[in-house]
Amino acid sequence: MSRIPGRVPTAPPTLADVAELAGVSRQTVSNAVNNPDLLRADTLARVQEAIDDLGYSPNRAARNLRTRSSQLIGLRFTPAQEGTANSMVERFVHSLVETSSAAGYHVLLFPGDPDDPTAGYDDLLRSTAVDAFIATDTYLGNPQAAWLESRRAPFVAFGRPWDNPDAGHPWVDVDGAAGVELATTHLIDSGHTRIAWIGWRKESFIGEDRRAGWTRTMRSRDLPTTGLASRVEESVASGREAAAVLLDEAKPTAFVCASDTLAMGVMHTLTDRGLTVGRDVAVVGFDDSQVAQVVPPGLTSVRQPLEDVAIEVVRALEGLLGHPPVESKGVLLAPELIVRGSSQADGH
Amino acid sequence: MSRIPGRVPTAPPTLADVAELAGVSRQTVSNAVNNPDLLRADTLARVQEAIDDLGYSPNRAARNLRTRSSQLIGLRFTPAQEGTANSMVERFVHSLVETSSAAGYHVLLFPGDPDDPTAGYDDLLRSTAVDAFIATDTYLGNPQAAWLESRRAPFVAFGRPWDNPDAGHPWVDVDGAAGVELATTHLIDSGHTRIAWIGWRKESFIGEDRRAGWTRTMRSRDLPTTGLASRVEESVASGREAAAVLLDEAKPTAFVCASDTLAMGVMHTLTDRGLTVGRDVAVVGFDDSQVAQVVPPGLTSVRQPLEDVAIEVVRALEGLLGHPPVESKGVLLAPELIVRGSSQADGH
DNA sequence: TGATGCGTTTGGAACGATCAAGGAGGGTCG
DNA sequence: CGACCCTCCTTGATCGTTCCAAACGCATCA
Mean pLDDT of A235-253: 97
Dihedral sign (CA A284, A289, A294, A295): negative
DSSP string, A3-15: SSTT--TTSPP-H
The chain B residue lying nearest A266, using CA atoms, is B296
Per CB-CB distance under 8 Å, the chain B contacts of A291 are: 85, 290-291, 294-295
What's the pLDDT at A141?
64
Higher pLDDT, A166 or B156: B156
DSSP 8-state code for residue B79: P
Q: What is the mean pLDDT of chain A?
A: 91
Question: Could B109 and A93 be called an inter-chain contact, meaning their C-beta atoms sit closer than 8 Å?
Answer: yes
SS3 assignment, position A78: coil
Helix (H, G, I), strand (E, B) or coil at A265: helix
Quote the pLDDT of residue A23.
Answer: 92
% pLDDT > 70, chain A? 95
Question: Which of the nucleotides lies closest to B12 (Cα–C1')?
Answer: C16
Q: Is A289 on the interface with B (CB under 8 A)?
A: yes
Q: Quickly give B40 CA vs C25 C1' distance in Å.
A: 14
* pLDDT number for residue B140: 62
pLDDT given for residue A114 in this prediction: 74
Q: How far is B243 from chain A (nearest CA, A)?
A: 14
pLDDT at B257: 98
Q: B60 to chain A nearest CA, in Å?
A: 5
The answer to whether strand D lies under 7 Å from the CB of residue A25 is no
Strand order in the sheet with A336-338: A229-232, A195-200, A254-257, A282-286, A300-303, A336-338
Q: How far, in Å, is the CA of A19 from the C1' of nucleotide D24?
A: 18
CB-neighbour burial class of residue B59 (10 A; exposed 0-12, middle 13-18, buried 19+): buried
Select the residue of B83, B111, B291 nearest A101 (Cβ to Cβ): B111
A82 to chain B: nearest residue by CA?
Answer: B290
List bases, strand C, within 7 Å of protein CB: 7-12, 14-21
Nearest Cα residue to A164 out of A207, A201, A205, A114: A205
* Runs of H (alpha helix) within chain A: 15-22, 26-34, 41-54, 60-67, 88-102, 121-126, 143-150, 176-189, 205-220, 236-250, 260-272, 290-294, 306-321
Assign residue A184 a region: left if phi > 0, alpha if psi is -120 to 50, beta otherwise?
A: alpha
- Cα–Cα distance for residue pair B60/B64, rounded to 1 Å: 6
- Give the separation between CA B263 and CA B285, rounded to whole angstroms: 5
Measured from the Cβ of residue B341, the count of other Cβ atoms closer than 10 Å reads 23
Say if the Cβ atoms of B126 and A57 lie within 8 Å: yes
Report angle CA B204, B256, B276 to the nearest 5 degrees: 140
Chain A's closest residue to B94, CA to CA, is A79
Angle between the N-to-C axes of helices B26-34 and B15-22, in degrees from 0 to 180, rounded to the nearest 10: 100
Tell me whether B118 touches chain A (CB under 8 Å).
no
Cβ distance B271 to A97 less than 8 Å, yes or no, reads: no
Under the banding of pLDDT at 50, 70 and 90, the label for residue A45 is very high
Spatial CA neighbour of A245 closest among A259, A230, A264, A260: A230
Calculate the dihedral angle through the C-alpha atoms of A21, A22, A24, A29, rounding to the nearest 10 degrees.
-100
DSSP B277: B
Q: Backbone phi, then psi, for B151, in 5-degree steps?
A: -90, 0
pLDDT score at B3: 37
Which nucleotide lies nearest residue A16, CA to C1'?
Answer: D16
In this complex, how many residue pairs, one in chain A and one in chain B, have their CB atoms less than 8 Å apart? 176
How near does any CA of chain B get to the CA of A69, in Å? Answer: 9
- Residue A83: is it exposed, middle or buried by C-beta count within 10 angstroms (0-12/13-18/19+)? middle
Chain D: positions less than 7 Å from a protein CB are 7-12, 14-20
Q: Does A81 touch chain B (CB under 8 A)?
A: no
> B93 and A109 in contact by Cβ < 8 A?
yes
Q: Looking at per-residue confidence, does B199 or A11 come out higher?
A: B199
Mind listing the pLDDT tens digit of every residue in chain B (348 residues)?
Answer: 333 333 334 689 999 999 999 999 999 999 999 999 999 999 999 999 999 999 999 999 999 999 999 999 999 998 777 778 777 888 999 999 999 999 999 999 999 887 787 888 999 999 999 999 999 876 666 778 888 999 899 999 999 998 888 888 999 999 999 999 999 999 999 999 999 999 999 999 999 999 999 999 999 999 999 999 999 999 999 999 999 999 999 999 999 999 999 999 999 999 999 999 999 999 999 999 999 999 999 999 999 999 999 999 999 999 999 877 788 789 999 999 999 999 997 655
Partners of residue A83 in chain B, C-beta under 8 Å = 290, 293-294
* pLDDT value at residue A46: 93
Nearest in space to B290 (alpha carbons), one of A295, A132, A342:
A295
Q: Give strand pairing partners of B111.
A: B77
| E strand or H helix that includes residue B337 | strand B336-338
The reported pTM is: 0.92
Q: Which of B65, B108, B272 faces A61 most closely, judged by CB atoms?
A: B65
Q: Which residues contact B280 (CB under 8 A, 6 or more apart)?
A: B270
Residue A209 CA distance to nucleotide C3 C1' (Å):
74
Site from A17, A290, A303 to mutate, B interface, most B CB atoms within 10 angstroms = A290
What is the structure's pLDDT at B6? 34
Mention every residue, 6+ apart, whose C-beta is less than 8 A from residue B255.
B195, B196, B197, B198, B243, B246, B263, B266, B281, B282, B283, B284
Opening angle at CA B342, ends B341 and B344, nearest 5: 60
User: Is the CB of residue A25 less than 8 Å away from at least one CB of chain B?
Assistant: no
Interchain contact, A57 vs B271, CB within 8 Å: no
Q: How many CB atoms lie within 10 A of CB B293?
A: 22
Q: How far is B6 from chain A (nearest CA, A)?
A: 17
Assess whether pLDDT exceeds 90 at residue A323. Answer: no
What pairs with residue A257 in β-bridges?
A: A198
Is pLDDT of A115 > 80? no
For the segment A44-63, the average pLDDT, to the nearest whole number, is: 95
Closest-CA distance of chain B to residue A216, Å: 30
Q: Is residue B111 less than 8 Å (CB to CB) from chain A?
A: yes
**Cβ(B139)–Cβ(B206) under 8 Å?**
yes
